Structure 1
């Protein structure tokens, strides 16, 4: 591996642009190449974001021996195909969330990573963000007692477009996989796997969930109420009710934000600012894993991705959403 870790990008869209902006904050990281099935699009992205090379073919880029790791940022429905392609070319992969469309695809991806002895991680940036780490420290400290209730939402208004990524079923559209995954992961990360799952959704004209409401019930008696919505703006906050305190992550909670703790003694808050969008934390972690010769993250592990996709599969079953 070169001194700089050379990144390749598959899928030069909006999320890839934000990721590459954050990558500039990562020590010894270099945006080396970008690939699109449209060479002109790849060249334009490379010019705008400082990539050394642009390719009009994924395979052509993956044959470039200078690339150490590939960030897969294509639409949800293609994560499986494109991740397997990278792994078959012995390239380490950071694949955007959701990892794949179902548990079986995730298992296939994990098997391919192990077979090819290369690193693979789902790009769920949440556990790497400073404010989420701080939240978990507060929850784990025990000073505020046990969690009794979690409420978390993520919603924004998107004009209906039957061919748009968010509304097109063949691209894995809908609120759950795109943004509902964040509240679901927050519940999983802080409370573990639920004992019971209840869910209901509004399926729109294109048969994807435009609104999704989920309730997780835990053996401890705790509940998590989770909401996602692509038809209107919502507060996009997360609030934990504990025995001795309330901990709120202010809008937009999935991004670096402010954590407010309220107890009988008063209120304290801590704001977490970042130099970029915040993707630098997961990218830095990937580089650390690569330098240590790891093939699996010790934070966003294969088991964590298995648990997450299993919850998403169970919710989809409840709301009768099939892709």
Structure 2
């Protein structure tokens, strides 16, 4: 692009590093600054990635005049306050998923963005991958969608200090892993009209395993699971009256998608993506900013709120 987006990153964890590294695969943007809660952490990250500007506070990053857009990659509970900092500074913001800790926080971020006419988007990176874009195109050829299934399970050693088990860090299977399956069902079927869930807690009290059945006005259903206790197949399927789409694991970064008509032979589609797959969401932000848009039609803000509302309801049922 003639005017690449100059990104500032809030946070210095693994996902922040992956985003910064993936930006090197595209010409849509570049990382120019990083902000952390300590100078030492900002310096370590900046030295590793090769960033000149490093800030010892999130406030300083948000105020940096050389930053065009902010990527919020801090722990879940900080997404809301960190995004507010950037939005109130007039910076377009990409917020790592889960967008916030709950729907109330999500609604406030969206209101501030809209009131100030500033771009805002959830960093559900899988939405922007070529393979998932192709899945969306294939859905139109399978008739009325009847069932969506998806699972996301990873094994983690029980460690009270690990962020996935720590309540103070927004731990639990649903917010970290389940957001993928809920967002996938939302992409296909929209907001559910009925939610039934079963949650089993981990040893720290966060949800260790969660299963959901979502019902829709059309009669369609989504059956979704997530767990911290075992590595699951992480596959997904979209079943329609005229055929089905099956996505091999991990479904959120698909390499193989199979389309099987009701009366016909399956067709297998292969896809690849560079790096960790995060460059595509950065490209989307750059595209929307160049067009003067304040949100993305691929990950609309109202849908992000709806996804948070679904997860709120699931956890409330626990």
User: Could you tell me how far apart the structure 1 residues matched to 2:245 and 2:283 are?
Assistant: 28
Distance in 1, Cα, partners of 2:191 & 2:31: 37
CA deviation map 1:248-303 (0-9, x unaligned): 11011111421012233222111110122111111101011111222222321221
Q: State the match for 2:300 in structure 1.
A: 301
After superposition, residues 117-136 of structure 1 pair within 5 angstroms as 117-136=117-136
1:21 corresponding residue in structure 2:
21
- For 2:64 and 2:193, the matched residues in 1 are separated by 47
Shift of the alpha carbon at 1:312? 1.0
Q: Secondary structure at the match of 1:182?
A: helix
Asked whether the equivalents of residues 161 and 167 of structure 1 are also in contact (C-alpha less than 8 Å), the reply is yes
Q: How many angstroms apart in 2 are the aligned matches of 1:177 and 1:275?
A: 26
Q: Any unmatched runs of 5+ in structure 2?
A: none
Alignment-derived partner of residue 211 in structure 1: 209
Q: CA deviation at 1:41?
A: 1.8
Q: Secondary structure at the match of 1:275?
A: coil
Partner of 1:64: 64
Moved over 3 A (4+): none
2:188 is the counterpart of 1:171: no
Q: Pairwise mapping of residues 104-123 of structure 1 onto structure 2 (< 5 A)? A: 104-123=104-123
What is the rounded CA distance, in whole Å, between the counterparts of 2:36 and 2:83 in structure 1? 14
Residue number in structure 2 paired with 1:227: 225
TM-score relative to the length of structure 2: 0.95
- For residues 74-118 of structure 1, give each alpha carbon's deviation from its aligned partner in whole angstroms, at most 9, with x where no partner exists: 111110011111112221110011111112111111122233332
SS of the equivalent of 2:140 reads: helix
C-alpha contact 2:153 2:233 (8 A) present in aligned 1: yes
Cα RMSD, aligned residues only: 1.5
SS in 1 for 2:266: strand
Say if 1:197 and 1:36 are closer, same or farther in 2 by CA, change over 3 A.
same
Q: Is the 8 A contact 1:92 1:119 kept in 2?
A: yes
Which residues of 2 match residues 8-47 of structure 1 at below 5 A? 8-47=8-47
- Report how many aligned residue pairs link the two structures: 316
Q: Is the 8 A contact 1:83 1:93 kept in 2?
A: yes
Q: 2: CA distance between counterparts of 1:202 and 1:245?
A: 34
1:31, 1:52 within 8 Å by CA — same for their partners in 2? no
TM-score (norm 1): 0.94
Distance 2:110 2:187 in 1: 20
Counterpart-to-counterpart distance in 2, 1:26 and 1:198: 42
